[in-house]
Amino acid sequence: DAKTTQPTSMDCAEGRAANLPCNHSTISGNEYVYWYRQIHSQGPQYIIHGLKNNETNEMASLIITEDRKSSTLILPHATLRDTAVYYCIVRSLAISAGGTSYGKLTFGQGTILTVHP
């Protein structure tokens, strides 16, 4: 899986948009960008994923640059409950190939997002 780079921590005011960047300059053509978050030692929660087009769901928006070397997760109106560690992961959709588990999610250190009043 391609390596990702995220800032260690970010702050955001409640009600404002939180923009979390991720660099993945070695991403390959069949790898998707996924975002998960983990709230204080709870199980990680899936947020969104995309390949090359921008994506939006009820939780967030994902903006992927045209060269796919970086992306930004946008929480449009951050709340205190959005305080969490956010993980950017790039991986293939395939479950396995040649005995390798592509189903494995490789979590880096993530970005600690703190939403303050």
Partner 1 sequence: EAQVTQNPRYLITVTGKKLTVTCSQNMNHEYMSWYRQDPGLGLRQIYYSMNVEVTDKGDVPEGYKVSRKEKRNFPLILESPSPNQTSLYFCASSPDTGTGKFTEAFFGQGTRLTVV
- Residues within the interface to partner 1 (CB under 8 A): 34, 36, 41-46, 49, 93-96, 99, 101, 103-105, 107-110
Distance in Å, CB of 82 to partner 1, minimum: 18
Distance in Å, CB of 45 to partner 1, minimum: 7
Which residue number, 28 or 109, has a Cβ lying nearer to partner 1? 109
Which residue number, 25 or 30, has a Cβ lying nearer to partner 1? 30
Distance in Å, CB of 46 to partner 1, minimum: 4
Which residue number, 16 or 104, has a Cβ lying nearer to partner 1? 104
Task: Report the alpha-carbon distance of residue 45 to residue 111 in Å, rounded.
Answer: 14
| Amino acid sitting at position 18 | A
DSSP 14: T
Token duo for residue 88: 């950017």
Are the C-beta atoms of 13 and 22 separated by less than 8 Å? no
Distance in Å, CB of 95 to partner 1, minimum: 5
Token duo for residue 55: 């994506």
Which residue number, 14 or 107, has a Cβ lying nearer to partner 1? 107
Q: Nearest 5°: phi and psi at 114?
A: -115, 120
Task: Report the alpha-carbon distance of residue 21 to residue 85 in Å, rounded.
Answer: 13
